[in-house]
Amino acid sequence: MVIGEMDAAQVAAFFRGKNILITGATGFLGKVLLEKILRIQPEVTKLFLLVRATDDESARRRVQTEVTGREIFQVLREKHGKGFEDFIEEKVYPLAGDVMYEDFGLDTAKLKEVSKDVDIIVNGAATTNFYERYDVSFDTNVLGAKQICAFANKCTKLKMLLHVSTAYVCGEQEGLILEKPFMMGDTLREGTHLDIESELNLIKHTQMELKANCATDKAQRKTMKELGLKRARRFGWPNTYVFTKAMGEMLLGHLRGDLPVVIIRPSIITSILKEPLPGWMEGVRTIDSVFLGYAKQALKFFLVDPNTIMDVVSLHPHIENIKRDSIYILITHKTQLSLVWTDSGGHGGKHYDGGHASALRGTSTDHLPCDIIHEQPGLLHDSPGVGPPLLRGQPAARGKRRAHPAEQDALL
């Protein structure tokens, strides 16, 4: 297959006239996605935002305060001027709900309205604390994925369910890491078998014991955090976050049925590279504290290997030199890129160079009216104004090599 040209207009065209349900919209990545869609495709029909709140009015106020009122919407606000609020009200529909509840806790009327309208679901809801309480992390990252899948199966015209996972579900392995989806029961430690139902029962049993012993809130937090780490390490994962995200992937793969599901696994997501606001960041997360400390000269030096490849993804989406064919996923790992797609019938895993491929499970795509379903951000190390190296036909930055799909039994 020949890699051709695809401009931003073709990407934006996919969202025209679509109804999209976004979970995790109040989070860092969620609000960037919302702003991007509204800015590049104002003809999107509706953006349903699932927000934790007591009612829809509270959800609306939370969206105004925590999302559309933030600095990242400055360019969009200037573009629409006095009509900005009307534009947002026309396009954005906050919903009071939570991914950990059946049907997100929506009432019957609201459930019926949303399920018949939604074309795309983007599940970005997650707790990303590495050492979160096991019960809290399990509720959102595991049971949340289950509820997302159950809801998606009720959507009569759904074209895609996009689930945001993490590159670090692969754990702390080194060398050649085969890229493949997680099956139920898979673990990273040889000789072990993971039973998600048993993990849920263990959580419930521990909670009952703590309650019976009249444990303090502090004692409960400590016990549940330690339980999460213990269970994660038992099965080969380094922390509770990546462990529960891996289980979430397993449930999606197991329960999706005929749903067109895409799982993306970005690495460390950091500030915006170019647009709408170069360098925009919200809060201090992951490696940002190191950069911030060095910039403020509070951290005079830190030990590094100058040949180390930064495993960082900019929030600025960049894509070029790609021919529109069927399903495209651009994913990053160790600053390498992979392009994975299927043909119009969903057959065969085709791959453009070696990097970190995605766990693509949408095996029936011939009913999709548009082909481009995901764009992964460009990389911090790219030269200004230049596309990702693999898409320019240049060698990738050197790092741990990921398996080419031809080296695996199956990619899809």
Rg (CA), the chain: 21
In a domain, 213, yes or no: yes
pLDDT (tens digit, 9 = 90+) per residue, 274-308? 888 887 777 776 677 777 788 888 887 777 777 77
Secondary-structure breakdown of the chain: helix, strand, coil percentages, each rounded to the nearest 5: 40, 15, 50
Average pLDDT of span 211-240: 96
Q: What are the Cα distances from residue 120, in Å, to 14, 112, 117, 257, 272?
A: 11, 16, 9, 16, 25
pLDDT (tens digit, 9 = 90+) per residue, 80-95? 999 999 999 999 999 9
pLDDT score of 6:
52
What CA–CA distance (Å, rounded) separates 252 from 65? 32
pLDDT (tens digit, 9 = 90+) per residue, 2-26? 334 456 677 788 889 999 999 999 9
Average pLDDT of span 264-273: 84
In the block, tokens 């401009």 appear at 7
Amino acid at 398: R
Q: What are the Cα distances from residue 255, in Å, to 143, 245, 248, 327, 361?
A: 12, 15, 11, 21, 12
pLDDT at 1 over 70: no
Average pLDDT of span 188-204: 96
For residues 373 and 216, which has the higher predicted lDDT (pLDDT)? 216
In a domain, 290, yes or no: yes
What residue numbers bound the domain in which 199 lies?
A: 8-332
pLDDT score of 10:
76
Residue 74's closest CA among 316, 284, 275?
275
pLDDT at 109 over 80: yes
pLDDT score of 2:
36
Confidence of residue 316 (pLDDT cuts 50, 70, 90): low
For 13, phi then psi, to 5°, come to: -60, -30
Is position 131 annotated as part of the catalytic site?
no
pLDDT at 121 over 90: yes
In a domain, 216, yes or no: yes
In a domain, 395, yes or no: no
Q: Which tokens go with 287?
A: 């490696």
What CA–CA distance (Å, rounded) separates 398 from 89? 47
In a domain, 49, yes or no: yes
pLDDT score of 187:
96
- Reduced to 3 states (helix: H, G, I; strand: E, B; else coil), residue 330 is strand
pLDDT at 329 over 80: no
Is position 245 annotated as part of the catalytic site?
yes
59 burial (CB, 10 Å; 0-12 / 13-18 / 19+) is buried
Residue 331's closest CA among 354, 348, 350?
354
What CA–CA distance (Å, rounded) separates 262 from 330? 12
For residues 239 and 318, which has the higher predicted lDDT (pLDDT)? 239
Q: Which tokens go with 317?
A: 């989406």
CATH assignment of the domain containing 111: 3.40.50.720
Q: What is the mean pLDDT of the chain?
A: 76
**CB neighbours (10 Å) of residue 207?**
16
pLDDT at 120 over 70: yes
In a domain, 341, yes or no: no
pLDDT score of 133:
97
- Under a CB-based contact definition with an 8 Å cutoff, are residues 85 and 109 in contact? no
In a domain, 351, yes or no: no
Average pLDDT of span 329-348: 32
pLDDT score of 7:
62
In a domain, 200, yes or no: yes
Q: Which of 31, 110, 159, 245 is catalytic?
A: 245
pLDDT at 213 over 90: yes
Q: Which of 241, 328, 334, 352 is catalytic?
A: 241
- Reduced to 3 states (helix: H, G, I; strand: E, B; else coil), residue 379 is coil
pLDDT score of 304:
76
Average pLDDT of span 160-188: 88
For the chain, how many structural domains are there in total? 1
